[in-house]
Each structure stands twice: as C-alpha cells, then as structure tokens.
Structure 1
Amino acid sequence: MAPFMNVFSNLIISIPVITTSSFFVLLFLYIYNQKQHHKKKYHLVVGSVLNLIINFNKVHDYLSDLAAKYKSYRLIVSLFRADVYTSDPMNVEYIVKTNYQNFGKGKKLRDIMKDLLGEGIFIVDGDKWREQRKVASHEFSTKVLRDFSSVVFRKNAIKLGDILLEAANNNQIIDINDLFMKATMDSIFKVAFGIDLNNMSSPNEDGIRFSRAFDDANTLTAGRFVDVLWKIKKFLNIGSEADMKKSMKVVDEFVYKVIQMKIEQMHKSKDEFSLKKEDILSRFLQVNDKDPKYLRDIILSFVLAGKDTVAITMTWLIYMLCKHPKIQDKVAREIKEAMKMKKEFTNVADFATLVTDDALENMHYLQATLTETIRFYPALPLDPKTCLSDDVLPDGCMVKKGDTISYLPYAMGRMEFIWGDDAQDFKPERWLDHDGRFHPESPFKFVAFQAGPRTCLGREFAYRQLKIFSSILLGCFMFKLSDENKVSSYRISVNLHIDGPLQICVFKRSGLHDQ
C-alpha cells in the first residue's frame, strides 16, 4: 500500500499546477480544434490528464464511462497533444493487425517501463521484438516446457489445496488473494528460474524481498503514466522515484545473482545433457549466455506476465463465483464429470491425480467461466501504442505521428454495443455453442490476450495453469465470502490487482477428508 500512497500523494501535490495549465490547454485546443475541424476529423476531446488524476483510483471505470458515450475519444495531456482512447473493435483490429507496423510501443512507453522491464519483449519494437518473439515462440511451443510447467502447476495447486483443507478443518478465514500470489510466484519462479521458492511453506527470504520489491515497482511504474513530474523526481531522486530506485535495486540484485548462478551451473556441467534445461532461463541461456542484461529483461517480462496475470484471474474468479454460487456449483459438477471419477478421493493430492490432460480438455464450462472472468477483469486493463506516422483509423478519424492511442480491454468487456444488453451480467454461457463446447469470440472484441502479430504467446500456457488450479481447488472446496455484502474493486497497478485482501470461508466438498 505504501508505494501506491506515495504515488497518489505525489499526484495530488501536482494538481494545482495541472489545474491552472489544463484550463489554458483546454482553451487553446478548443480554439485550435475549431479552426482545424473543417480540414480534418479528429476524435472528440472529452477531458484532460487532470481528470485522470482526479479519478486515479477508479481510472478504468472512468474510462469505461466515457467509452459507453464515445467509442473513441481524446484526453489532453500537453499543450499540443491529446491521447486517444478507443473501445471500437474495428479500430482495435486496425491497430493490432491491419496496420500494426504503424502502432508500436514508442519512446514514451519505453521511458516509463524501462526501469522495470529494460528492453524486454513487451516494450520493444522492430528487430529487438522480432528476435525475442521468435525465441519465445519456439520455447512456448516445446513439449519440454509444457510438461515441466504442468508438473509445477499441479504440485503448487496441491500445496495450496492442503492449506485450504487445514483452513476448512479449523473454520479459518483466509486471504485467497495472498495465497494465489504466493502460489503463482512459486510456480513462475520454478518455471522461469528453476528455483524452489516455497513461498507457501518455508519461504526463501531473498525471494520474498524480490517479490515485494517487484510488486512495489509495478505499482510505482503505473503511477508514471499520469504523473507528469516523474522524470524530474527521478532526476532529483525524491518521492515515488526514490522508492522506485530502491525497489529496482532489490529486483536487479536478485535476478543477476540467479542468472550468474545458472551460468556457472551450465559451465560446470561436463555433459551438456547432464543438467536439465527445463526452466525458461536455462533454455534462453542456450541461445545467449553472454549478455546478463538481455536475460534479465526477458525473465522479468515473463515474471510480470506469468505471476500477476494468473493470480489476478484466480482471485477474481473466486470472487465472482462467491457472488454467483449456482455457477460455482455448476463448475464443480463439470469438473467431476470430466474426470470420470471411478474411485473416491481421500485428499487433495489423490484428487489431483485424476486431473489429466484429457479431463482438462473436456472442462468447457470451466474455460467459459474463466474467460467470462477475464472479460470483466482483464489482467492488462489498458494497452497503449504509439502512432509512428500520421494515419486514419477505420472510424474516419485522424491520429498524428507521436500520438499515444490506447485500447481498453477493461472497458470493452463492459460495452453493450460489443456484448449486447446483458453485457453487465456474469454469464459463462455466452462462451458456449449449442453443444456446450467452448467457442472463442473475435480477438478484436475480447482483447485480453491482445491480437494480431503481438498476440500473447502465453495464452495457452496461462489457461493451462488456470484450469489446473481451478479444477483441483473447485473440485475439492466450496468458497464463500466472509462478508457476503463485500464489493471488491481494483487497485492501480500495471495489472488489475484486487484492492486489498479477499477474505474467504472454505468448505470441503463431498468426498474430501483427511488422511
């Protein structure tokens, strides 16, 4: 919470300055737009960066409210620039597929994210992106990584299940958000680094420090998107930027230590096959073991993508299933039917042996429920691009070279013009065909995993982890909110984390008992 409060307080201090300047900016642009309107068509200006600051802790809902009125619009950020925001699937398709080469990450995003992700795949363009994409695409498609990660996911789902069983036996209220963050951190550390972090049982102190520092840096990075003074603070090493520097020192020291350890292990190995190369770092070391910075940037990108996104989705899934207990029961029934259970199970590990790949493939309602959760709560709620040359979007409006144009997965998941009159209803059935089988929607309306050439490489990787965790936990336990009237919201970060703990009561399902 401290990093968020530092970001927020720093932004509040900036408001008087921004208020005055915003008035003159709005006046100037109003006059300018009136003169230019007859020449070229631009998206309507509906506010400024001041509105983003005022609505900072609910910014995605603010942007969604605007999206419901205007599919695409502009917010003023400087004297001569207004950022574009769109929830129009036609515009999204044009940006991420049709003319994707004209919409890159750009300098602004790289400047904001560079301390955290360096030149990792998520913030680079051109040859650097293509090189990393090629290598990562190959690694995600290998059977070695798929099988290794599945074993890791099952192992950690069982560990988490044992913790939940103890809570159910002792009538303990647990923070499911904290447990999912620990479980997914354990999983991504093992898959990414080959390290047993043991966050859920006997934690590694260095790993815990890294995890906290990484989360803090994530939150502080998000604050830079609306803090117009962040570069000055960084230069002076004050406020949120001083905190950022401290967090990144912890992150970098840990990652470089792990990389060096892996390099030494591989060099000491006399037989190139005697050291298993199952984790992502070991496999990337086969491609490039000369540049620790290159490896650091890639690994931190995978940690950001693999740790937070799965934990976030699992937490929101449990929250939504607590709000919709009939759907929770239906998911649990399907899980057991898909497993074709022919014997009683006595504990979580016993149950997990029945969660086979074939069983997971037949859990269509579970996949629909996960996808419906992601529709409402996409891990990446906003995705900014930079326009590299003047262009015209499918809606007929101009975007200029250097403009930032963001599409809005969070807002798009709530739009009636995309999903129909029941857009606000949690309805997994919308993802099923007449035979009850899962069917995907257009990636340009459901953009949580991006689309086009930069489609998320880890989509199937993420779904596999989500389905393994979900099937084991929902097959063994029933969940209820400790406060059934609680309405949860998000906290501001790069990803859509739930705000604060999610206190849950856990109950054993029929057939589960101690051994």
Structure 2
Amino acid sequence: MVAMVLYAAIIVPVLCSLYMFHRRRCCKHPLLRDYPILGMLPTVLFNLWRLHDFFTEGLIKHGGSGDLKGPWFTNMNYFVTCDSRNVQHMLCKNFDNYVKGHDFREIFEPFGDGFIAADYETWKYIRTLLHSLMNQPRFKAFIDQTVQKKILTSLLPMFDHAQQLGRMVNLQDVFLRFTFDNICLTTVGHDPKCLSIDFPVVAVEKAFRMSDKSIFYRHTVPNSVWKLQKWLQIGQEKKMTEASKTIDEFIYSFITSKRKELRKCTKEEMKEVPLDLLSLWMTEEGGCEHNDKFIRDFAFNFIVAGRGSMASTLTWFFWLVIKHPLVEAKILEEIKDHFKTNEKKNDEYGHGFDDLKQSVSGEVLGMEEVKKLVYLHGALCEALRLFPPIPIERKQAVKVDILPSGHRVNGNTMIMFSLYAMGRCEETWGKDCLEFKPERWISEKGEIVKVASYKFIAFNAGPRSCLGKDLALLQMKMVAASMLWSYRFQMAEGHVASPSHSFGLSMKNGLKVRIMKRDL
C-alpha cells in the first residue's frame, strides 16, 4: 500500500508536468491566464459581467490575437482575433479555407441548411436565389410600404398611448416586437401583431427568444453536456425542443397554405400573388420544386437575421442618442431640412391612409426620402461599430494556414472574430475610437464615407457579406426618423447599459424610457 502511494506521488506530478509542457507548446499565444485542469475558464467567469470589454482589453494587450483554452479534455479551444488583416485574409482572400463547419451546424441546429449555417454548394445556391429575389424592385417597394404602414398603425399609436398614460416603455422590447412583426410580414406575409398597446404574449415570438437563449447556452458548455440534456430532454434543451416545435408549426402552416393557393392560380393570377419572400420564392422558376424542409430553413434563417439585428442596433442607437443631445439636435435639423410630405401614400394605401395619419402624431419618411439623411446614416453606423448586433463570429479552418499576423492555424482550428473589439481598435478608428462621432462617417463634401467591410464588419465581409445591408439601414433610418421627429425620450433614472449574456448583443434589463411629445 505504501509502495503504491509513493508510486502515485512520483508518477502523478510527472504526468501533470508533461501535460502542462504539452499544453504550453500547443498554446503559444495565451490570451488569458491558463489554470491547471480548468484552463482559462476561471478568468472568463470572473469577468463574465463585462465579457466583451474584457476580451477587447486582452486582445489589444496581445497585439490583436491569441489562444483561448477551455477546461482540459473539452473541445472548447479557440483562436481569437480582432486584427483586420486576419479578418480580411480569412473572409476575403482565403475564403474557401474558412467555413462554418460541422460544430457550428450542430450548435445552430434550428437553422438547418439555411444561408446562416450552410457551407459550400448549398450556401452558394441559396445565396444566388436570395440575391435574385431581394433585388426585385417590387419586393423593395413592398418592404418600403410595409415598414411605413407598420410605423403608422402600430409604433406611433403605441408611443402615443404610453405618453398619454405617462408610462415608462422598454424600447428594446418595443423594437423586438416591431422587427418581429415586420420580418414576418416580409417573409411569410403574416402580421403576428406582437406590437400593440397591450404588449401581448405571442407564442411564436416567445419561441424565437427562447431559441436565441438556447443557442447561447450551447456556446457556454461542452458539447457533451448540452447533447446529454437534449437526449434526456431536460433543462435548456427541453425548452429548445419546445420552442423549435412552436416555430416549425408556425412556418410550415404558411408553407402548406401558400402551396395550396399557388396550385389554384393561373399564370395571370400568379402576377398578383403577395410580395412576401415565401411567395416570391415559390413562384420563382423551380421554386415549387423545393421541399418543405428547404423552404422552412430559408424562412427561419431570414426571420432570425432580420429580427434581432435591427432591434439590437436601434436599442443601442437610441441609448447613444439620448446620451448625446448634440447628435440628436443635428439629426432633427437634418430631418427638418429634408422633410417632405409624401402625397403618394394615399394612393398606395387607399383613402383611409389620410384618416390614419390624422389619428396619430407623427410623419413617416419613405426609403427614397431617408436616403438623403446622411448624418442619421452616420449615427447608425457608429452604433453598429460600437455595438455590433452579433459581437462574435466563428469559423473553422479546413487546412493549415499562416495568418498575416504571423499566427499559424491548423486544420479544424476553431476561430472567433471579436467584432466588438474590432470597433474599438485605434489602428482602424483612431485615438477617439471609443467616442460616438457620426461625423467620422461623413466626408468634407457631405457624402457617406465608405469603409472596407473587413474593418467595419457589422454586416460581415467577403462573399458572405449581408445581402440585406442597404435595406436594413434604410428601414432603421425610417424608424429612427419617425420616432425622433415626434417624441423626446428620457432614460429611466439610474439606468446602466450593459450587454446581456446572449447570442446577440442585446441590452441587459432593456432600455427603459419616458416618452414626451416633441414641440418643433
């Protein structure tokens, strides 16, 4: 017995030393302190309350890149970077070597084979079709009309009601509801009416929020943990299963009904079908040949892409504008200089549209009008730079590569880009990179400054750049302009803005404000 204890006392330290030596060789550029057994996890957990800022500080300290190692015997090991040269190399110059990968598709299982999680030929095929559909003039006109009508029938009446009652409003919740209604109208042609004065609980919208939380949870634990929970149907995975069922029932019901409607349509009637993406997709040549699963994945991806990102951006934008009254004043002056009443709205929506306009306080600028609002555009880009809706992107290397920073990545290496840190790099944005300055986006001629996508990466870069970038910015400008023109917003006393622990960069505890009519 004594001999066994002595043997263990000698062998265990030797094995630990050998493993530590091996780990140090594998982790040549540690981003954080590496603890025995637990890896860098303790440091991450200790700074969880300010995780994005903490990683930004660490990346800047280590030259923009480093290794992040999880607990021993887990696969939670990443190469993390905010170096724009590396980003350009991986997303643009050597695009084919960096894919979403199998692990990504497992974690993002609800996305199926949609454009967010797909790779290779599947992704190329979907992107080609999506590019064709989104460039159709009638689809853009449909979005323009849909957003204007939603602002007038839901957003402004809700603010009027809250203002009259003197109620505090959570702007983040408002934007999540507004964008969900809007993206559902755009995608499946149905308004779930999440945004109304009574703030109803809508099952499918609640399911999408739960899906977001579940995907974030899968990022925080080893794969074996969440897979076991999924098999046992317990904890967060049970909630994920229930949410996915609700979402699938919602989307498949519209696929079924639209197929039935389209089968009855003549060629002439086909020209009059609704302009939502699902209808456009099915009426494209070969569109009806896609199976229901393919169309479901497309719809799910489009809803997720259009819902959370716009809501996140608008929330942080209004927080920044409330904190910077001079910026707000400049936006209002610009709107005043370019504002024109659009008499065509009555023709588009019928005679009832004028009555509707008189029943709410406020005006809505259309897409063509908000294109003139350069300063507002700059302010939104600043919000996106400082608070990108997706703060971290991940990729997987296919084979060995040497990055411009000099770091070597092996095949199957998991890579994380910190978009949050990239917006705070002095090398790209200057010593005032932490300041909210819309002027940095405006040239001396008063035109919008174009910044390379691999530096301003809120809409991704390279072949996977967001196809809906321009439409998204126009919609957000329409919402922001109509709200700022009609109301003043006062932040709740003692409100502290900080990012929540979620897949997207939402605001912890929301953005609670008091609403007041604006006198112009």
SS class of match (1:225): helix
Percent sequence identity over matched residues?
27
Q: Distance in 1 between matches of 2:460 and 2:478?
A: 23
**1:334 — aligned with what?**
334
From 3, 21, 26, the counterpart of 1:31: 21
Q: Secondary structure at the match of 2:270?
A: coil
Matched, 1:74 2:67: yes
- Counterpart of 2:235 in structure 1 is 239
Deviation digits for residues 205-232 of structure 1 (CA, Å, limit 9, x no counterpart): 8x91011011101111111112111122
User: What secondary structure is seen at the aligned counterpart in 1 of 2:496?
Assistant: coil
Q: Quick check: 1:198–1:204 contact (8 Å CA) kept in 2?
A: no
- Aligned residues of 1:26 and 1:76 also touching (Cα < 8 A): no
Does the 8 Å contact 2:361/2:486 carry over to 1? no
SS of alignment partner, residue 319 of structure 1: helix
Provide the residue aligned with 1:489 in structure 2.
498
Given the superposition, is the C-alpha separation of residues 170 and 239 from structure 1 closer, same or farther in structure 2, using an over 3 Å criterion? closer
2:490 match: secondary structure: strand
For residue 97 of structure 1, report the CA deviation from its aligned partner. Answer: 0.2
Q: Does 1:281 align with 2:278?
A: yes
Aligned to 1:135: 129
What does 1:255-404 correspond to in 2, within 5 Å? Answer: 255-271=251-267, 272-273=269-270, 275-286=272-283, 287-289=286-288, 290-339=290-339, 351-352=362-363, 355-404=365-414
Letter in 2 for 1:119: D
Deviation >6 Å, runs of 4+: 23-27, 202-205
In structure 2, relative to structure 1, the CA distance for the partners of 1:263 and 1:398 (3 Å cut) is same
| Cα gap change, 1:224 to 1:36, in 2 (>3 Å) | closer
Q: Which amino acid in 2 is paired with 1:413? A: G
How far apart are residue 49 of structure 1 and its match?
5.4
2:31/2:59 contact within 8 Å kept: no
Q: Where does residue 4 of structure 1 map in the other structure?
A: none
In the aligned structure 2, how far is the partner of 1:25 from the partner of 1:317? Answer: 53
Q: Normalized against structure 2, the TM-score is what?
A: 0.86
Equivalent position SS for 1:405: strand
1:146 aligns with 2:155: no
For residue 416 of structure 2, give the secondary structure of its aligned residue in structure 1. Answer: strand
2:3 match: none
SS of corresponding position for 2:287: coil
Is the contact made by 1:52 and 1:226 (CA closer than 8 Å) also made in structure 2?
no
2: CA distance, partners of 1:274 / 1:45: 57
Quote the RMSD (CA, aligned, Å): 2.7
Corresponding residue for residue 86 of structure 1: 81
- Alignment CA distance shift 1:424-1:292 (3 Å): same
Distance 1:168 1:401, change over 3 A: same
Partner of 1:11: none
Match for residue 249 of structure 2?
Answer: 253
Return 247-256 or 273-282, whichever deviates more: 273-282
Q: Deviations along 1:306-336, whole A, 9 cap, x unmatched?
A: 1111111111111111111221121111111
Provide the C-alpha distance between the structure 2 equivalents of 1:502 and 1:427, rounded to a whole number of angstroms: 21
Q: Distance in 2 between matches of 1:183 and 1:237?
A: 32
When the two structures are aligned, how many residues end up with a matched partner?
A: 480
Distance 2:94 2:49 in 1: 33
Secondary structure in 2 aligned to 1:504? strand
Q: What residue is the counterpart of 2:226 in the other structure?
A: 230
Q: CA deviation at 1:371?
A: 0.5
Shift of 1:179: 1.3
Contact 1:72 1:88 in 2 (8 A): yes
- Between structure 1 and structure 2, the one with the greater Rg is 2
SS at match of 1:352: coil
Q: Residues 296 and 241 (structure 1 numbering): CA distance in 2 closer, same or farther, change over 3 Å?
A: same
Q: Contact 2:441/2:448 (CA < 8 Å) preserved in 1?
A: yes
Query: Among 450, 463, 474, which residue is 2:473 paired with?
Result: 463
- Residue 203 (structure 2) aligns with: 209
Q: Distance in 1 between matches of 2:498 and 2:15?
A: 33
Shift of 1:54: 4.6
| Aligned-partner SS, 2:396 | strand
Q: Deviations over 1:53-89 (max 9, x none)?
A: 4544543223222122120011113549631010000
* Alignment partners' CA distance in 1, 2:16 and 2:406: 23
Q: For residues 346 and 236 of structure 1, what CA distance do their matches in structure 2 show?
A: 54
Amino acid paired to 2:218: R
- Residue 110 of structure 1 deviates from its aligned partner by 0.7
- Are 1:44 and 2:17 an aligned pair? no
Q: 1:169 aligned to 149, 164, 173, which one?
A: 164
Does residue 121 (structure 1) correspond to residue 89 (structure 2)? The answer is no
Separation (CA, whole Å) in 1 of partners of 2:48 and 2:366: 44
Aligned equivalent of 2:508: 499
- The alpha-carbon deviation at position 262 of structure 1 amounts to 1.5
**More displaced 10-residue stretch of structure 1: 83-92 or 428-437:** 428-437
SS in 1 for 2:123: helix
- Which of 186, 192, 195 is matched with 2:190 structurally? 195
Cα distance in 2 between the residues matched to 1:138 and 1:358: 21
Give yes or no for the alignment of 1:111 onto 2:106.
yes
Q: Is the 8 A contact 1:360 1:467 kept in 2?
A: yes
Task: Decide whether aligned partners of structure 1 residues 350 and 139 sit closer, same or farther in structure 2, where only a CA change above 3 A counts.
Answer: farther
Residues 385-394 or 314-323, more deviating: 314-323
Deviation at 1:35, TM superposition (A): 5.3
